[in-house]
Structure 1
C-alpha cells in the first residue's frame, strides 16, 4: 500500500507539540498498530479518521508539554504542584463518574457551611454595635443597680448624675444625658406622625461624644436652646419632602413648637442609639433634678489616659455625697461596646457565644459527613488507585490528586453556601426588624470577615480532604488491583465510628436544646398570668380621660373601660421605695407601681384576696398584691386600712389582690401597688367585642381630632415577653434540622462503607443460611451502639447547659427524663430510616455477586 498507509502528518505534529519524546513514542506506536489493523479490516480513509480522533482524545487544553533529557535517560520524578492542570482535569472526571456521591457530599457540606456563614454574620453584626465611634474606647455607659431586698439591674440613672460627673470629676471630659420618648406625636401642618423609640431628649454634648455625621445647620449651637430639634436625613425627608427643613417648625404632642436647627446622617443599624429626632433637653424645663428617680441614660467621655475602673472607683463617694436613692442606688460604669450585650441590648454575650459554638459545631459536623462519605468511596476506587500506583504515581502525587478533588468540591460548596446564605438572610433580617438589621453576604467583602471566610475554607479543605487522601494514597498495589481491599486498609473503622458518634453527639445536643427551649416557651405561653388578656386593647388618653371613659362605656359591645398607665404586666421593672404604717425608714423591698381606677380589676379580671375594690374618685386608696404583704411579713387582713407613703403621698390600703404576672418570666413576682389616681392615667383599657373597634376609633377621633389613634391588644404586649425565646427557638430549630440532615448523610456514608467492606462476609453468612433479618441485625446493633454512645456523651453536657440557661428564669420547667428520651427516640427513628434502606439492599443482594472474585 506504500504511502497510503501513512497516518495524517498534522495529527503526528500535534503529538509532537503536546507530548515529550518518550510519551509521544509510546502513544504513536500504539496508534500506528490500530491504524494498520483498521486499514486492513475496513479502509484507509476510515483508519485516518479514527487515528485523528484518537489523537484528539489524548489531548487536553490544560496540558503543558514537559521537557525531559535524552530519550533513554531515566525519567526524573515530576515535581507536581496542586495547581497543575492535569490534576484539575482528573478531578473533574472523577466527580463526573460519581455524580450521586459528589452531590451528597456537596449538599451536606454546603448546607452546614451556609448555616455557619449565617450565624457568623449574625454574631459579627451584634458584636459590632457602637464600636464605630472614634472615641468608643473612652466612652463609658453609666447604669444603676437598685439594692433592696433583691438587686434590680437598670439601664438608667438619676437626671442630675451627668451634670455632677461633668462638673466634679476631672477624669471626665464630657457627659451626655438622654431620655428616650415613647408614643409622641410630631405634626407638620396637617400631617401627624406618631413616633416611638426613635426620638429622644438630649443635650449638645451628644454631638461631641458620639460619631454623628453632621449634614446641615450650626453644629456648635444646636440643641443648646429650648424648643430645638435635630432631624436625621430620613426624618427630614419624611416630614418636609424635598424642602429645606432648617428653620421649619414641628409640633410636639400638639403643645410645643420645635424649630429644626440641624440635619444629621441616618444612624446605622448597628447602634442602640438609633435616634432620628434629637430634641434639646432644655425644651422641658420642668424636668425634675430628683436623685431618687431613675430617668436618664448617661454616657461619659473619659479623658485620655483615664480608665473605666477609675470612674468606677469614684462612684462610692458620689453616692454618699448625694445620698442617691436613700443609699439604694449603686452606679456602675460599662464600656460602650457592652451597650448591646449587658442591659438593654437584644443579645447578651453568653447567647452570642452559644450561637458561635453552634455555628462551629454545624460546620464540623458537615466536614465529618464529608470525611465519612469520602472514605466510604475509597474501596470503590481501589482498582483506580492500584493502576495509578503501578504506573509510577507516588503517594505524594496521589495525595495532591485527592486534595485537588477536595479543593474543587470546596469551591463548589463555597459558591452554593453563599447562595443559600443570601437566600436565608432576608428572613433573618425580618426576624430582627426591630434592630433594623441589613445582613448580607456582601458583608464578607470587608477585611475581617473576608479573611475569616478564606481561613474557614482552607480549614474545611484540610479537615475534609486530608484524612481521606492520606488513607487512599496508602493502599497496597496488589490488593488494589485484585480488588481485595478491606475496611482496615481503607481507614480504621474505629475512626469512622468516632466520626459518626461525634455527629450523633452534635445532633442530640441540638435536639435536647430545641426540646428544652420549646417546652420552656410552651410553659410560659400556657401559664396562667393571673389576669385576662383576650379582647382587651389599650388606646391613648391624651387628655380628659374621664370624658373618654364615659363615651366609650356607653358603646354597644364595650363591656368595660379602665383608665390606667399600663397593663398589669410590663417591661418596666423599676421599684419605688415606700414607707409602711408608722415606720420612719423605707422598707427593704420597694414596690412596683401601676395606675388604675375602680374598673381596673373587673376589666383585667384581677382577683381580690382581702378587702374591697377601689372607690371611684378617691385618689387616697391603693391596692397591693400578695407579694407586698409577704415582703412586710404580715397577713392580708393585717395590712388593710394601714397607711403607706410612696412618692411623697399618703395612701391607704383598702384591698389585697392575688399575685399576677407583672413582668417577664425571668423576673419573680415582686411587691406591687395599684394607685387610684387618674391624673397619671395615659391610656384606657377597653374590653370589647371583636367588631367594636371601628366605632371606638370614631368616638376617639371626635374627642382628639389632633391626635393619632392607635389600638394595642394586650395579647400582643404579652407576646413581646416571649420574643427572645421565639427567636432562639426558631434559630435552634433550623440548626437542629441542619444537624439532623448532616448526621443522616454521615450515617449514610458509614453504612455504605460497612456494606461495601463486609459484602463478602455477608455473602458467606447468607450461603451458610443466615436470614435477611439476621443480616439486618448486624447493621442495627452496630449503629444502635453508636447512637447510644453519642447520647451518653451529649445528654450530660446538654442537660448542664440547658439548666444554666433555665436558671435565668424565675419560673421554669424541670428537665425531665422524658425530654432526653424524646431526643433519643427521634435520632433512633432517623438512624433506622437511613440505615434501613442500605442494609436492606445489602441483605437482599445475591451472595454470588460478592464472592465471584474468590
Structure 2
C-alpha cells in the first residue's frame, strides 16, 4: 500500500509540474531564510562562550560625569586592578590589556599590523588561550618578546618553527617569538594576531596610580559562588570612601565602575572605544520573528495552493470514495504528498543556503560556514523545521481534500464545501501588510542613510586624503608637509591629533568666569594652523592661527557650540585653562562642524596648535586622477619615512563608517522586502486560483449574457486589489510608528517622507495586479461552454 501511495504521489507531482515547482519554490525560500537566520542567531549567541570561565568573567566599565560631560566607556583607570586584588578576596584573577598596532619588517617591506594586544601575566588565567607551542607567559612578562597567533606565524615564518625567531619593528627593535597560540575564534569580542607585555608601555607605567585617566581594559574572573552585584556595590562603596580623586566628589559629578558580564558584551554593549564591532540583541529578536514569519507565510502559501488545487482534484476524491477509500486513507495519501513536497523543499532550501551564505555573510558582516562541527545543529534544525512545516502545511490540505462529499464532488458542487474562506483572505492581507511595511522601511532607512551622507557637515569631506600614523615621519614631519603643499595637485594640507571620522580626546578645562561651569570636560584637538582651512571650516568670529606664530601656541579656537555651552556673550579674548596649567586665550570662534556622526548634536570643541608631529595629516586634493595623486604623495612618504608603510584613507570613507549599521540595516530591509513580496505573491496566486475556480460558472454566465473580457478581468481584479488596499491601510500606521521611533536615535534626521508610503502602496498593488492578471485574463478568455457544460 505504501508503494501505491508513493507512486500515486509522484505521478501527481509530476503531472502538475508548474504547480509543484511554485509550491516547492515558495516553501524552499521560506525554509532557507529560516535556516540562515537560525545560523546567524546561533553565531551571535556563541560569542565569548568558548572561555572556560565565561560565566564568571566580567569587565569593569567607567561611567562618569564631570561638568556637563558624561561618559560610559569600557576603558578605565590602571589602579582598578590593584584595588580589586588587594581588597576583595571574592575576585580570582584580574587582567588588564590595551589594543594597538605594530609595524613589522617583512622582507624588504614594512607591514602595519593592527591587531596587537598588550596584556599582563593574568591574561591566560582569565581567558582561555590555547597555546600551540612555547610559553605565552614569557611574552606577557618580558619586554621585547612576543607571542604570535597561528595566522601571524604562518605569515611571517612559513614552513618554519617560529619559536626563538625574531621580528624586526620599524624602529629597529627586535622582538623574540616566545610562543604560538591558536587563532581567536571569530565569536570573540576581541581579536589579536600579536600578544605582548603591557608593562613595557610607557603611558601604562606613568598612570599606575592615577584614577583620572581611561587607560586600559579591566577584566576579572570571580571565584565560584560569588554574587557579582553584591561585589559591585562593595567595590563602588570602597572607591567612594578611599580612592576617588577629589574633583569627582564635587556636587553633580560622579565616577562609577559598573561590572559587565562577558556574555553580554557582544549583544548588549555598543560603547565608544569597544575592542571590536558588537551586535545588538534587539536584532536577534527582530530577525528571529521575521524568519518565523516568512516560514509561516511559506506554509500558508502551501496550504492556499494545495486547497486551491483541490477543485481540480474534486472528482478524483469522489471516484476514490465511490470505490471504497476511507477518509483516513485519503488523508494519508494527501499528507504524504505534502510531506514529499516538504522534503523536496528542504533539499532545495539546503542548496539555497549553501549558495546564499557568502552573500549573507557580506550582508551581516559574518564569516559563517557550513562545517561538520555544525552538522548536529543543522540536522536537528532541519528535523524541527520538517516536523513544523509538515504539520502546518500538510494536515490542513489533507483534512480539506479528504472531507469532500462523494455525490457533491462527482456533480461538481463544491461551493458550499469550500465556503468564502475569509481566513485565506485575511492571510493574504496579513502577508501584504508585512510586505508593505518592509518596503516602507527600506525606503525610509535608505533615505535617512542618504541624508546622513549628503547633509551639510560644516566642513568639506570631498577629496581629502587622510594619512594615518604621520608621526612616523619623525624629524621629517614638517618637511613632508611643506613638500606636499608644493605639489600642484594639492590645495592644502594640515596635521592634527584627530579628524572627522576619528576619535576625539577629551580632558578637563576651566573656563574664565563668569561661565556656566567652573570646570568641565571638553573635547579637544591639537593641530597645525592649516587644519581648518584644509577642512574648509569657516571662522565665525576672530581669526585663525597664523603660520609659525609662537604667540599662538597659547591661543585656542572654540566652536559656537562651546560658546553656547559656557554662556559667554563675547568669547574673544577670554581664557581657558588646561589640566596641565596652561592658559589659552580664545582668538577665534569657528562655525560648528560635525566632527562626530549625525547621531549626536555638535558637541563643544577646543582647537589648539602645537609644533610637534601629529598622528594624522589631511591633504585636500584638487580635481584630477586620484590614483596618480596618491602615488605622488606616496612617493614623498617613501622618501621621508622609508621604514613606515604608507597608510591612507579618505575622510569621506572614514566618516561613512559612522553609518555602517544603518547601511547594513537598509540592505537587510531590502532583502526581506523582496522575499516577503515573493512569498506574498505566491500566496495571492494561490488565492486567485482558488477564487477564480469557485467563480468559473459565474464567469461563464456573465459572458453568455454579454460581458466582455475587460469587464470580467476588472471584476476579478478589483476583489484582489481591495484586499491589498486593506493591507496597505493597515501597514502604513504601524510602519510610521516603528520608523518614527527608529529615527529618534538621530539628532539630525529626515521628516517622514510621505512618498515612501505612496510608493510602497503602489509597489504592493502593482505586484498584486501582475500576480492576479494571469489568472483573471485566463478565466475571462475561457470558453463559457466549458464552464457551463458540467451542469
Which TM-score band (shorter chain)? over 0.9
User: Quick one: distance in 1 between partners of 2:442 and 2:107?
Assistant: 52
Q: How far 1:186 sits from its partner (Å)?
A: 2.0
Native 8 Å contact 2:464 2:618 kept in 1: yes
Native 8 Å contact 1:372 1:749 kept in 2: yes
User: Quick one: distance in 1 between partners of 2:727 and 2:40?
Assistant: 29
User: Quick one: distance in 2 between partners of 1:588 and 1:797?
Assistant: 46
Q: 1:146 aligns with which of 44, 64, 83?
A: 64
Structure 1, 91-100 or 786-795: larger mean CA deviation: 786-795
Q: Which residue of 2 aligns with 1:614?
A: 545
Q: 1:322 aligns with which of 216, 234, 243?
A: 243
Q: Tell me the alpha carbon deviations over residues 590-621 of structure 1, each in whole angstroms, 9 at most, x when there is no partner.
A: 32222221101111000111111023343222
Q: 2:105 aligns with which of 152, 171, 187?
A: 187
SS of match in other structure, 2:665: helix
Q: 1:225 aligns with which of 142, 148, 156?
A: 142
Q: 1:584 to 1:659 in 2, by over 3 A?
A: closer
Does 1:475 pair with 2:404?
Answer: yes
Native 8 Å contact 2:110 2:170 kept in 1: no
Q: 2:259 aligns with which of 333, 338, 344?
A: 333
Q: How far 1:378 sits from its partner (Å)?
A: 0.7
Q: How far 1:330 sits from its partner (Å)?
A: 2.4
Q: 1:632 to 1:584 in 2, by over 3 A?
A: closer
Q: 1:580 aligns with which of 511, 514, 520?
A: 511
Native 8 Å contact 2:571 2:586 kept in 1: no
User: Quick one: distance in 1 between partners of 2:26 and 2:637?
Assistant: 58
Q: Tell me the alpha carbon deviations over residues 181-228 of structure 1, each in whole angstroms, 9 at most, x when there is no partner.
A: 04x3123564422011x1111111111111111111124544122222
User: Quick one: distance in 2 between partners of 1:723 and 1:457?
Assistant: 36
Q: How far 1:318 sits from its partner (Å)?
A: 4.4
User: Quick one: distance in 2 between partners of 1:332 and 1:417?
Assistant: 45
SS of match in other structure, 2:710: helix
Q: How far 1:834 sits from its partner (Å)?
A: 1.2
User: Quick one: distance in 1 between partners of 2:363 and 2:479?
Assistant: 40
Q: How far 1:145 sits from its partner (Å)?
A: 2.4
Q: Which residue of 2 aligns with 1:562?
A: 494
Q: How far 1:422 sits from its partner (Å)?
A: 1.0
Q: 1:200 to 1:237 in 2, by over 3 A?
A: same
Q: Which residue of 2 aligns with 1:25?
A: none
SS of match in other structure, 2:642: coil
Q: Tell me the alpha carbon deviations over residues 422-471 of structure 1, each in whole angstroms, 9 at most, x when there is no partner.
A: 111112334456xxx33123478444443233212211111112211111
Q: How far 1:812 sits from its partner (Å)?
A: 1.7
User: Quick one: distance in 2 between partners of 1:472 and 1:694?
Assistant: 73
Does 1:175 pair with 2:94?
Answer: yes
Ranges in structure 2 where 5+ consecutive residues have no aligned partner: none
Q: Give the TM-score of the pair, scaled to structure 2.
A: 0.92
Q: Which residue of 2 aligns with 1:156?
A: 75
SS of match in other structure, 1:590: strand
Q: How far 1:85 sits from its partner (Å)?
A: 3.1
Q: How far 1:285 sits from its partner (Å)?
A: 3.7
User: Quick one: distance in 2 between partners of 1:217 and 1:587?
Assistant: 55
Q: 1:590 aligns with which of 515, 521, 539?
A: 521
Q: Which residue of 1 aligns with 2:325?
A: 393
User: Quick one: distance in 2 between partners of 1:534 and 1:248?
Assistant: 45
User: Quick one: distance in 1 between partners of 2:371 and 2:425?
Assistant: 39
Matches within 5 A, 1:183-582: 184-187=102-105, 190-196=108-114, 198-254=115-171, 256-287=173-204, 288-289=206-207, 290-320=210-240, 321-323=242-244, 326=248, 327-341=253-267, 342-343=269-270, 344=274, 345-431=277-363, 437-442=366-371, 445-486=374-415, 488-490=416-418, 492-539=420-467, 540-541=469-470, 542=472, 543-544=474-475, 545-570=477-502, 572=503, 575-582=506-513
Native 8 Å contact 1:188 1:249 kept in 2: no
Q: Tell me the alpha carbon deviations over residues 701-758 of structure 1, each in whole angstroms, 9 at most, x when there is no partner.
A: 1111111112211121122122111111112111111111111111111111111110
User: Quick one: distance in 2 between partners of 1:736 and 1:381?
Assistant: 34
Q: How far 1:583 sits from its partner (Å)?
A: 7.4
Q: Tell me the alpha carbon deviations over residues 524-567 of structure 1, each in whole angstroms, 9 at most, x when there is no partner.
A: 11111211112211124211321221222222222211011232
Q: 1:705 to 1:205 in 2, by over 3 A?
A: same
Q: How far 1:482 sits from its partner (Å)?
A: 1.9
Matches within 5 A, 1:667-706: 667-679=600-612, 681-689=614-622, 690=626, 691-706=628-643
Does 1:779 pair with 2:712?
Answer: no
Native 8 Å contact 2:508 2:579 kept in 1: yes
Native 8 Å contact 1:595 1:678 kept in 2: no
User: Quick one: distance in 2 between partners of 1:121 and 1:311?
Assistant: 36
Q: How far 1:419 sits from its partner (Å)?
A: 0.9
Q: How far 1:304 sits from its partner (Å)?
A: 0.7
User: Quick one: distance in 2 between partners of 1:700 and 1:188?
Assistant: 18
Structure 1, 320-329 or 543-552: larger mean CA deviation: 320-329
Q: Which residue of 1 aligns with 2:645?
A: 708
Q: 1:828 to 1:564 in 2, by over 3 A?
A: same
- Root-mean-square deviation (Å): 2.2
Native 8 Å contact 2:136 2:147 kept in 1: no
Q: 1:805 aligns with which of 742, 748, 756?
A: 742
Q: How far 1:640 sits from its partner (Å)?
A: 4.1
Q: Which residue of 2 aligns with 1:111?
A: 29
Q: Which residue of 2 aligns with 1:663?
A: 596
Q: How far 1:588 sits from its partner (Å)?
A: 7.0
Native 8 Å contact 2:57 2:262 kept in 1: yes
Q: Tell me the alpha carbon deviations over residues 659-715 of structure 1, each in whole angstroms, 9 at most, x when there is no partner.
A: 111112222221111221243611211122433222211111111111111221112
Q: 1:100 aligns with which of 3, 12, 18?
A: 18
Bigger relative CO (Cα 8 Å, ≥ 6 apart): 2
User: Quick one: distance in 2 between partners of 1:652 and 1:328?
Assistant: 29
Does 1:604 pair with 2:498?
Answer: no
Q: Tell me the alpha carbon deviations over residues 456-490 of structure 1, each in whole angstroms, 9 at most, x when there is no partner.
A: 2211111112211111111010111122222x423
Q: 1:220 to 1:797 in 2, by over 3 A?
A: same
Matches within 5 A, 1:704-783: 704-783=641-720
SS of match in other structure, 1:706: coil
User: Quick one: distance in 1 between partners of 2:649 and 2:497?
Assistant: 13
Q: Give the TM-score of the pair, scaled to structure 1.
A: 0.86
Structure 1, 641-650 or 225-234: larger mean CA deviation: 641-650
User: Quick one: distance in 2 between partners of 1:319 and 1:252?
Assistant: 40
Alignment: residue pair count:
764
Tell which structure's C-alpha radius of gyration is larger. Answer: 1
Native 8 Å contact 2:497 2:527 kept in 1: yes
Native 8 Å contact 2:318 2:409 kept in 1: yes
Matches within 5 A, 1:114-125: 114-125=32-43
Q: How far 1:580 sits from its partner (Å)?
A: 0.8
User: Quick one: distance in 2 between partners of 1:146 and 1:521?
Assistant: 32
